[in-house]
Structure 1
Amino acid sequence: MATSTMRRWTSADIPDQRGRTALITGANTGLGFQTAKLLAEHGATVILACRNPGKAAEAAARIATSAPDATVHTLQLDLASLASIRHAAEQLRADHPRLDLLINNAGGIRPRYAVTEDGFESTFATNHLGPFAFTGLVLDQLLAVPGSRIITVSSIGHRRGTVDFDDLHFARGYRYQHAYFQSKLANLMFTYELQRRLAAAGASTIAAAAHPGNARTEFGREMSLLVRVLMRPQFRMLTWWLMQSPQRGALPAVRAAVDPDVRGGDYYGPPGRAQFTGYPARVQSSVRSHDTGAQRRLWQESERLTGITYPVREPVRVTPS
């Protein structure tokens, strides 16, 4: 159940974002595009960090249509490539030294097993290791801005996820649902461990998470025929109880990014038992996501795999006697 007020939080509640710079990964389509569009319409300078520069430019042009006064930039970023991540971080530092908001939205799922150029299972790389690496490389820019935020988009599917530290890359057998659920659980474990480190360092930067419920986007384009059919807009009258628009699906991440009442470690999504649809509220994640030992181990493994270390130290942990 949601733990915050049930009053509807809508785009009308977004505060003035003028003077703030927000980077959104995977912003050329779906939830990322809607997130960038909402922030731009409320005055933020937005950076669309996307794998395909052409699609990013098209998305920027679409945003300019609805927000003609908006400042929109693009940045090439492939989260499945550590080389691309490092280059993008360097480019960001050169072109945009100020960064108020980082929204780790980009994600995907591979129905068939695939390995990245760095040797990582593709879903885990794109959804967790990539955001982990990019966040670490740009964190100093965020730390320099009072009140900055890092928002990572998870999924209700995290509740079915487990992190198999003995086989993170599914070498012993690949099931795409399990790979996706593992990566979405990792998103939350990363957020909670990052927030713990930020708080221990006395930083004003906070880390929070969000999930969109079941949003009707292009996410299912590589899935089964049934899923692809249900995702189509013409079926929204039949699936209104199961799926919501990408505009509403983007609201939890936007709320986590801009609501003054958000605290570090908060998690936002549609309220209710299933959390499929609805306006964003503070919600609870699974018990497994709060396992501090697993969070720490995932962090250490992510550092080892990516070669990225953070400018905030691990907090001192007191072991009960």
Structure 2
Amino acid sequence: MNTDHITALITGANTGLGFEMAKALADQNVHVVLAGRNREKVEGAIERIKRTSPDASLEVGVLDLTSLASVDAFAQNFVAQHKELHILINNAGVMVPPPSLTKEQFEIQFGVNFVAHFALTGHLFPLLNATQGARVVTMSSIAHRGASIDFDNLGLEKPYDPWREYGQSKLADLMFALEFDRRLRAHGSDMLSLGAHPGVSRTELTRNLNDIPPGIEMMAPAQGAAPALVAATSFDVEGGQYWGPDGPEERSGEPGLAVIDPAARDEQQAAKLWDWAQEATGLRFPV
């Protein structure tokens, strides 16, 4: 992808993987909108990038993914201020926090990691669709393997299992990325939807972990961000692909095509999840 005159939006861009994605894209002359919940933290991230890249084209976005009303308001403001959106990276995430709910009463991981990003993509779809060759990259995880979608437990209806719920949210993310691409192809769109994952990376996402299992080496955030950046910018990618590190068990390594669990390829379940998300958010796309 020729990155001149490109606009990218990255959620969770004030720290960790999102920060490294924003920095890398800004260094390629992309205009990057860094979206985060806290304005001061986003402004601080922009200042850090400017120290080494003073000519970087960066913009603050304030977005609370625990609230669909905030997602709606952010998207409306974004559309009003931008004529094109070439790259959307659905990056922000929550991992194994204490049990809690979003404003709309979804389990926090499922609500932030999947529902809010489905809504954000839906609100921004007309702008993305009007931009030639737009791409949407949604971050999943190796934790999607072995997970399943329990439609009777999306709002803490059952006793909380943090890793089960995290896996469910990341499976939903990958199912979304793949189903979105199928629907784009059916509509004859040139937009691409891809999934990516960072392997095991050292970011603030791990703040709720008491300890890291022995023998697990964590990649630097810049390394973990690399697969998503390939998905977002490479000329060689195709819609419906899933990128991650190419090392043992995809925990680390260079960007390569990643293994997709059979559950994420279940088109009947993906269509059911899509229908559920449309009802939950009131958004229907692509149309």
**TM norm structure 2:** 0.97
| 1:211-250 superposed matches below 5 A | 211-224=197-210, 226-227=211-212, 242-250=217-225
1:118 lines up with 2:104 in the alignment: yes
Partner of 1:4: none
Cα distance 1:201–1:78, how it changes in 2: closer, same or farther (>3 A)?
same
Q: Could you tell me whether the CA contact under 8 Å between 1:27 and 1:50 is conserved in 2?
A: yes
Cα deviation, residue 109, structure 1? 2.2
Partner of 1:255: 230
SS at match of 1:97: coil
1:27 lines up with 2:13 in the alignment: yes
1:306 lines up with 2:278 in the alignment: no
Partner of 2:51: 65
Match of 2:134 among 142, 148, 159: 148
Cα deviation, residue 87, structure 1? 0.4
Whole-Å separation in 2 of the counterparts to 1:162 and 1:191: 16
Q: Percent identity, aligned pairs only?
A: 41
Partner of 2:240: 265
Q: Which amino acid aligns with 1:149?
A: R
Q: Which amino acid aligns with 2:84?
A: R
Cα deviation, residue 269, structure 1? 0.4
Partner of 2:76: 90
Q: Which moved more, 1:271-280 or 1:77-86?
A: 271-280
Q: Could you tell me whether the CA contact under 8 Å between 1:209 and 1:266 is conserved in 2?
A: yes
Cα deviation, residue 111, structure 1? 2.9
Cα distance 1:67–1:16, how it changes in 2: closer, same or farther (>3 A)?
farther
Q: Could you tell me whether the CA contact under 8 Å between 1:110 and 1:122 is conserved in 2?
A: no
SS at match of 2:249: coil
Cα deviation, residue 291, structure 1? 0.2
Partner of 1:101: 87
Whole-Å separation in 2 of the counterparts to 1:119 and 1:223: 24
Q: Which amino acid aligns with 1:298?
A: L
Q: Could you tell me whether the CA contact under 8 Å between 2:187 and 2:286 is conserved in 1?
A: no
Whole-Å separation in 1 of the counterparts to 2:284 and 2:243: 27
Q: Could you tell me whether the CA contact under 8 Å between 2:3 and 2:28 is conserved in 1?
A: yes
Cα deviation, residue 110, structure 1? 4.1
Q: Which runs of 5+ in 1 are unaligned?
A: 1-14, 231-237, 313-321
1:116-136 CA-to-partner distances (Å, cap 9, x unmatched) read: 221111111000000000000
Match of 1:53 among 27, 39, 43: 39
| 1:152-301 superposed matches below 5 A | 152-224=138-210, 226-227=211-212, 242-301=217-276
Q: Which amino acid aligns with 2:180?
A: L
Q: Which amino acid aligns with 1:156?
A: I
SS at match of 1:274: helix
Whole-Å separation in 2 of the counterparts to 1:119 and 1:154: 22
Match of 2:28 among 33, 42, 51: 42
Whole-Å separation in 2 of the counterparts to 1:222 and 1:52: 19
Cα deviation, residue 75, structure 1? 0.9
Whole-Å separation in 1 of the counterparts to 2:18 and 2:77: 20
Partner of 1:235: none
Whole-Å separation in 2 of the counterparts to 1:53 and 1:272: 36
Question: Following superposition, which runs of at least 4 residues in structure 1 exceed 3 angstroms of deviation?
Answer: none
SS at match of 1:103: strand
Whole-Å separation in 1 of the counterparts to 2:7 and 2:53: 15
**TM norm structure 1:** 0.87
Q: Could you tell me whether the CA contact under 8 Å between 1:41 and 1:66 is conserved in 2?
A: no
Q: Could you tell me whether the CA contact under 8 Å between 1:129 and 1:302 is conserved in 2?
A: yes
Whole-Å separation in 1 of the counterparts to 2:236 and 2:97: 39
Question: What is the Cα-based RMSD across aligned positions, in Å?
Answer: 1.4
